Amino acid sequence: MRRAHEIERALGMEYYVADADGTGGRLRDRPEDFRVVERERFSTEPADADPGDYPWLVVRATLREMDTNDFAREFANRVGISRERVTWAGTKDKDAVTTQLFSVRDLDADDVPEVSSADIRVVGRAGRGLQFGDLLGNEFEIVVRDPPRPSQATAVTNQLEAFGGGVPAVPNYFGHQRFGSYRPITHEVGLAIVRGDWEGAVMAYLGNPNENEPDSSQDARRFVEETRDWQAALAEFPGRLRYERTMLHSLVETGGTEPADFRAALETFPENIQRLFVNAAQSYAFNQMLSARLARGLPFHEPIPGDVACFADTDAPAAFPIPDVDREQRVTAERVDVVGRHCRRGRAFVTAPLVGTETEFADGEQGEIEREVLSTLDLAPEDFDLPGAFGSRGTRRAILLPFDPSIEWDPLTVSFSLPKGSYATVALREYLKTSPLEH
């Protein structure tokens, strides 16, 4: 087991499980180097179906250097409709070529606009819009540019296969994108929120200058940290930092001295971002639990006494296996072998908690790990009983991420599928062993 890059360690990802040297190289050298095709579970009728019964038009769009939100906004603007009438199942990054479904309410097929950097094709009509639950997973084809040691991909794959008990696999970490690729502070905001430190949460977002930001952004953050002068800070923060400026306007209006003032500033974020802050705190704790399990030398592909396993979601296809968190199994010493067989056959998963108000800890060594991590972070399940979008009941997540990579050599290209909620860069980091800023 090998120590991870320092940026990853700061996000709870302490180790690589493959000791072999990495290939090196770069990801996303050009958009075509990172191709993603989304797979959904969603039925449609023909495009000429009665719009009264099927009011949603469904299109499949391939985007180049355009993220999901920007496409939806541009599409809506060109049609002259509210962005809220455009829905999708999964959000994709900008620096890639991505293909996914979108649904648009009350739109005729003939009115689909042209959008630059997008190829849009009508699929059909549906009785409802796409939702996150319709996402199954994603298929990836990723090119590694200029790897100095491309042949190391074979050694890494062999070691990941040993870790996964016969199937290449990695710890199911949350990737650095969860926390902010160039300024990873989302979890710091979330941790402060969950601890009830509303001012600390605001300052974690407004302050915290990062060397990867433009100098003007760093200067503005240092100014607000030193002065707490919200009005003067508005003159310092560039217009591109629109969320920060909106928070500052709120602090000017309320006075910015009381906990309620800071909470109001955080509530200027859209609800999905409010949830994202707390989700990032949960993800950080989860990553630390996985690293602690690795440090103890405990298996990921099969349970030990005390683990909490979840049986597989029987509605999910074999290519995109996910746990059914409503079908938990506490693994007693007497059932270790039985549950282990289910895990090895892909019928069950060892899990760890994304902590919330309804979290029940594992027993045995895994339970010790979960309690120790939360104690170190000064968190408890009841802390997640928070107002509005900040609250969370918690859930469970598989600790192992199996994948079946196909590797081509000229250029070095790695192709695989992952279920929803998992990160391609978590698999690729084992191969490259470079800074996540190059992912």
Catalytic residues: 93
Which position has the token pair 């009728």?
Answer: 45
259-266 helix and 198-206 helix, angle to the nearest 10 degrees = 50
Q: Which residue, 351, 352, 360, is CA-closest to 382?
A: 360
Q: Token pair for residue 57? A: 């038009």
In contact, 156 and 387? CB cutoff 8 Å = no
Residues 6 or more apart from 435 whose CB is under 8 A from it?
5, 7
In contact, 71 and 118? CB cutoff 8 Å = yes
Residues 6 or more apart from 161 whose CB is under 8 A from it?
167, 168, 169
Q: Which residue, 179, 237, 48, is CA-closest to 247?
A: 237
Q: Which residue, 282, 280, 300, is CA-closest to 292?
A: 300
| CA–CA gap between residue 137 and residue 248 (Å, rounded) | 38
Q: Is 9 helix (H, G, I), strand (E, B) or coil?
A: helix
In contact, 365 and 296? CB cutoff 8 Å = yes
Give the Cβ contact number of residue 422 at 10 Å.
Answer: 23
Handedness of CA 292, 302, 279, 101 (dihedral sign): positive
φ, ψ of residue 281 to 5 degrees: the values are -65, -45
Residues 6 or more apart from 359 whose CB is under 8 A from it?
353, 381, 394
Q: Is 42 helix (H, G, I), strand (E, B) or coil?
A: coil
The secondary structure of residue 21, as a DSSP letter, is: P
| CA–CA gap between residue 202 and residue 161 (Å, rounded) | 43
What is the rounded end-to-end Cα distance, in angstroms, of the chain?
Answer: 21
Which position has the token pair 């974020």?
Answer: 269
Q: Token pair for residue 310? A: 């979840």
| CA–CA gap between residue 84 and residue 99 (Å, rounded) | 20
The secondary structure of residue 53, as a DSSP letter, is: T
